[in-house]
Amino acid sequence: MDQRLPKHQRIYKQDDIDHLFSKGKAVISYPLRAVFCNRHDDQSPRMMVSVAKRRFKHAVDRVRFKRLIREAYRRNKPQQSYDIAFVAISDKLPSYQMVEKAVCQILQKIQQAETECKTTNS
């Protein structure tokens, strides 16, 4: 089983990032905040992670937090095609269980928001 997060599943272009943060909706589940936007093409979901230097002064802590988020996302990846940006809002490095729980809750909230949007528009 392939356990990587290939480049086509990452958001890396500045135009895509600007579009996501300007048009996207936000969801919070401590210690993460997620901004998401639905994609209308049938490609795989894309994601990005942001951990501020202001919150974590040491690079090893920032990198560790990013790895925890990416791993939790990889294990619980949604089937729908979304662009999702995960932003750290905690000042302390959480455990993997806490990050995975937050990622799962965020993905559920995104799915619920999308379901509500579809039923409202129908």
Domain range holding 115? 7-121
pLDDT for residue 122: 60
Question: How far, in whole angstroms, is CA 43 from its chain's centroid?
Answer: 16
Looking at the domain assignment, is residue 105 inside a domain?
yes
Looking at the domain assignment, is residue 2 inside a domain?
no
What are the pLDDT tens digits along the chain (122 aa)?
567 788 888 999 999 999 999 999 999 999 999 999 988 776 788 999 999 999 999 999 999 999 999 999 999 988 888 899 999 999 999 999 999 999 999 999 998 887 777 677 76
Looking at the domain assignment, is residue 112 inside a domain?
yes
What CA–CA distance (Å, rounded) separates 51 from 19?
19
The contacts of residue 51 (CB under 8 Å, 6+ apart) are 62, 65, 66, 87, 88
What CA–CA distance (Å, rounded) separates 33 from 106?
8
The total domain count for the chain is 1
* CATH number for the domain that contains residue 113: 3.30.230.10
